[in-house]
Amino acid sequence: MIAVPTDEGPHDATEQSNWVEAWLFDVVQVDGSIALSIELLIWPQHNRAAFHASVVQTGAPLISLVELDAVAPKPPGLEIRASGLWADIGIQTALDHVTVDIESFAVQLDDPTDVFHGAYGIRTALGCELEWETDAELIAGPTINSYEVPCIVHGELLLDDRRIEIDGWGWRSHRWGVAAAGDRSESRGRQADGRWLNARSTRHATTLSVMAEAPVPDPSLDVPLWQSLVRSDTGDLVWVRRTETP
- The sign of the dihedral angle between the CA atoms of 223, 198, 12, 41 is positive
Residue 37's alpha-carbon distances to 40, 104, 213, in angstroms, are 11, 15, 11
User: In sequence order, what are the residues at sequence separation of 6 or more whose Cβ sits closer than 8 angstroms to the Cβ of residue 31?
Assistant: none
Scanning the chain, the segments in alpha helix (DSSP H) are: none
Residues 105-121, mean pLDDT to the nearest whole number: 95
- Coil, strand or helix at 214: coil
Whether the CB-CB separation of 76 and 64 falls below 8 Å is answered with no
Cα distance between residue 198 and residue 239, in whole Å? 10
pLDDT on residue 181: 76
- Model pLDDT for residues 12-53, shown as the tens digit of each residue: 999 898 999 999 999 999 999 999 999 999 999 999 999 999
| Cα 221 from chain centroid (whole Å) | 16
pLDDT on residue 143: 86
- Model pLDDT for residues 193-245, shown as the tens digit of each residue: 999 999 876 555 556 789 999 999 999 988 999 999 999 888 999 999 998 75
**pTM listed for this prediction:** 0.95
DSSP for 52-79 reads EEEEEETTS-EEEEEEEEEEPPPTT--E
Residues 107-114, mean pLDDT to the nearest whole number: 96
- Model pLDDT for residues 148-204, shown as the tens digit of each residue: 999 999 999 999 999 999 999 999 999 999 988 777 888 999 999 999 999 876 555
pLDDT on residue 180: 83
Output phi, psi for 182, to 5 deg. Answer: -65, -15
